[in-house]
Amino acid sequence: MKVLVADQFEQSGLDGLKAAGCEVVYDPALRDDALMMALGETRAEALVVRSTRVTATMMDAGSLALIVRAGAGYNTIDVTAASARGIYVANCPGRNAIAVAELAFGLILALDRRIPDNVAELRAGRWNKKEFSKATGLYGRTLGILGFGSIAQELARRAQAFGLNIVIWSRRFDENPGVDLGTYGLERTGRDSRVTIAPSPQAVAEQADILSVHLALGAETQGFVSADVLGRLRHGAFFINTARAEVVDYAALAQAVRERGIRVGLDVFPDEPATPTAEFSGPLLQEPGVYGTHHIGASTEQAQEAIAAETVRIVRSFTETGRVPNVVNLARRTPATHMLVVRHRDRPGVLAHVFELLRGDDINVQETENIIFEDAEAAVARINLDRAPSQALLASIRSGNENILSLQLVRL
């Protein structure tokens, strides 16, 4: 398999792809038209990207069967277009969780102790111990967390070790607020902290001294952290976003900073530059008490090595088994209404006979699985159909091939 890697990628990952028998083309500078041309010229079957945008036009230019996002989010890939073309899209969830959680906690500590301002004053030759001795401290305060995926879980574990109380809202707890948090490595009531589940994001904000956002980006989370949520934060609270800029109403956040002294740590911004280096200025960054980093949450050597290893695992699985781990664009449930179960002798032409008769009656096969018994003498095929075959058609299938042992029609 030929693999085109169109973003910065670890050498261990490139070596791993080659060890898996892949022909690797590595050009981390490819973007836009240049990437489209490279896909056409290389006829690569797999594409590995990080922040590079992948469009429908690019997919049409080559022979792609698999796109791997070497990271967690995949909003830069036109997943709808990939699905329409039968192209798998996979990601590497959780592999950068510790790195992002570490940065989020670093921003919390930086806000509390005003570390960037300390450094700036010292570099300017000014000693101001009286001013910078003003800090509340974290122990005993309350950290609110919106979303509870792998990054939020890592953050919560670190927060509990610091003696922070934790209040969480996540859709996963909507129907089970009494969930056993021990499965996430947390104690509801620890020696120095307690963990509670809140019924809404607003309820989290009302209790939080620090609010940290860990929501995946989707249609339902655009602008999710709204003025209604931000308006519940107490005066002088901290706000952290290391997730996606689009999940937060940044205009409302700016208003909260100016009017109520909210202090902010951000790793993500609206309209970030598409290139690694560029001129950039955001209105929020001019506000005192707002600290920012350059969307580097996942950018530790440990995280990048883990993501590279996961990318290799995905590609290797695809080349060796045809299965794609972490695929994000397969239907959770097909529109199939019936399953035809065919028990048959494992002989050439049996399934071709079944499919031909189904096609003749304009019945679409949406999924199929053929399970072979020991010694390969017999098999069972499970065939998902968009409608039920007639009794006459079933009789034709059964009688038309001597190697069909039985048929069963199951309504889904």
| pLDDT given at position 207 | 97
Neighbour tally for 43: CB within 10 Å: 12
Band (351; pLDDT cuts 50, 70, 90)? very high
3-state DSSP assignment of residue 80:
helix
* Rounded Cα–Cα distance for residues 211 and 314 (Å): 35
The torsion angles phi and psi of 145, rounded to 5 degrees, stand at -125, 125
User: Which pLDDT tens digit goes with each residue over 119-148?
Assistant: 999 999 999 999 999 999 999 999 999 999
Say if residue 72's pLDDT is above 90: no
Non-local (6+) Cβ contacts of 313 within 8 A are 325
Is 244 an annotated catalytic residue? Answer: yes
Is 377 an annotated catalytic residue? Answer: no
Out of 50, 95, 114, 244, pick the active-site residue: 244
User: Which pLDDT tens digit goes with each residue over 398-412?
Assistant: 999 999 999 999 998
Among 342, 343, 336, which Cα is nearest to 384's?
A: 336
Is 188 an annotated catalytic residue? Answer: no
User: Which pLDDT tens digit goes with each residue over 223-254?
Assistant: 999 999 999 999 999 999 999 999 999 999 99
Q: Taking residues 207-223, what's their average pLDDT?
A: 94
For 263-302, strand residue ranges (E) read 263-266, 290-292
CA atoms within 13 A on the CB side of 257: 21
Percentages of the chain per state (helix, strand, coil), in multiples of 5: 40, 20, 40
Cα–Cα distances in angstroms (integers) from residue 177 to residues 202, 204, 225, in the given order: 16, 14, 21
What's the pTM value of the predicted model, to 2 decimals?
Answer: 0.79
Out of 121, 206, 272, 305, pick the active-site residue: 272
Q: What are the residues facing 343 on neighbouring strands?
A: 380, 406
* Rounded Cα–Cα distance for residues 275 and 381 (Å): 50
Domain 2-95+302-321 has CATH 3.40.50.720: yes
Say if residue 332's pLDDT is above 80: no
Q: What is the CATH number of domain 97-297?
A: 3.40.50.720
CB 406 within 8 A of CB 343: yes
Q: What is the CATH number of domain 338-411?
A: 3.30.70.260
* Rounded Cα–Cα distance for residues 264 and 234 (Å): 13
Band (176; pLDDT cuts 50, 70, 90)? confident
Out of 295, 313, 353, 382, pick the active-site residue: 295
CA diameter of the chain: 94
Cα–Cα distances in angstroms (integers) from residue 95 to residues 69, 98, 155, 246, 303, in the given order: 12, 8, 14, 22, 6
Say if residue 333's pLDDT is above 80: no
Residues of the chain with CATH 3.30.70.260: 338-411
User: Which pLDDT tens digit goes with each residue over 144-157?
Assistant: 999 999 999 999 99
Among 266, 272, 192, 259, which Cα is nearest to 230's?
A: 259
Residues of the chain with CATH 3.40.50.720: 2-95+302-321, 97-297
| DSSP character at residue 287 | S
